[in-house]
Structure 1
């Protein structure tokens, strides 16, 4: 019942190759709407119950926060809920945005900044 660390290059490879995974972003709603990893969903205390119910436990889940710290606690919690493959994104969204600026979307439909 634990999680693993994932580097941003591996996540980018998974996205490019179509490897099945779910990216959940635990940052505050405003930060998420201003920029997030394509295909990710916002996860907070209100939506986590629905996420746990609708997501198969064998699904690979990648947790993203600002810098890769809070995501570790959330990943550990998800592993405790029975998810088998849970990852915390090292460096968080800040690192992702710096290294993959072409892979950031906003809720207003705007593309990379």
Structure 2
């Protein structure tokens, strides 16, 4: 029996490979917290909980690119996908460490579309924080790496005080990053349920779906964050929504408690 193989690509080669395959599935084999901090646009996290679903549900003709931290684990995953019958599989040599400081595979990108200039005077404490985190203190609505805005970054850090200050300045509550995630998603990554409630109250969309069709509720369920799941459901998140791969939050539940909460919510919604 012939052993199936996969390609090993440098960032420049991966750029050309992906541009020729716009429907490619990009898989990030790093930990959840690092994926949340920054990843290739459109990538899906790959781990021991979802790999079987991906292997079974994705069509074998769909190209697959896998990356990890330094290009070691990605080779194991790539071999698995190739052995399972996927026809075009590649991994990124040296992984995330091979990318530029902003995590870009493609090199220089077109200028970011800037949000409207926030109104009012930026408080000194907020200005200092913006500068320390790599944002422009004079433009508190401007996104930086991966399209993350200061509001998203504050939510990820669990800084409710800074999130409130930014919203008071008039930054866009519905802004999304390069993956289609908003500040609520990042607050769910942090796990601060009080901040989750406050962001929704201030106009951050509860049902924003990212580029894969996943909502904050789906993320919280897949991450086993039961308290966040309960909070989102209490705020009115729809448990019946499905991702582009036809998964609901219930399908993604990673813990018994999340499963219990979502089963009850699904019954009520149905």
TM-score (structure 1 length as normaliser): 0.81
Question: Do structure 1's residue 93 and structure 2's residue 134 form an aligned pair?
Answer: no
| Higher strand residue share | 1
What's the counterpart of residue 223 of structure 2? none
Distance 1:70 1:13 in 2: 23
Deviation at 1:47, TM superposition (A): 0.9
1:84 is paired with a residue whose SS is coil
Match of 1:83 among 81, 86, 90: 86
What's the counterpart of residue 146 of structure 2? 105
Deviation at 1:110, TM superposition (A): 5.2
Q: Residues 45-60 of structure 1 correspond to what in structure 2 (within 5 A)?
A: 45-60=48-63
Task: Verify the 8 A CA contact 1:60 1:85 in the aligned structure 2.
Answer: yes
Distance 2:31 2:23 in 1: 25
Gaps of 5+ in 1: none
Q: Residues 21-36 of structure 1 correspond to what in structure 2 (within 5 A)?
A: 21-36=24-39
TM-score (structure 2 length as normaliser): 0.37
The structure 1 segments of at least 4 consecutive aligned residues displaced by more than 4 Å after TM superposition are 14-18, 101-104, 106-111
CA-to-aligned-CA distance 1:46-76 (integer Å, 9 cap, x gap): 1111111221111110110001111111100
Deviation at 1:20, TM superposition (A): 2.8
RMSD: 2.5
Q: Which has the higher contact order (CA 8 A, sep 6+)?
A: 1
Task: Verify the 8 A CA contact 2:21 2:63 in the aligned structure 1.
Answer: no
What's the counterpart of residue 76 of structure 2? 73
Question: How many correspondences in the alignment?
Answer: 111
> Which of the two has higher C-alpha Rg?
2
Distance 1:94 1:10 in 2: 16
2:15 is paired with a residue whose SS is helix
Deviation at 1:106, TM superposition (A): 7.5
Deviation at 1:78, TM superposition (A): 1.0
Gaps of 5+ in 2: 110-144, 153-175, 179-270
Deviation at 1:14, TM superposition (A): 4.4
Task: Verify the 8 A CA contact 1:35 1:106 in the aligned structure 2.
Answer: no
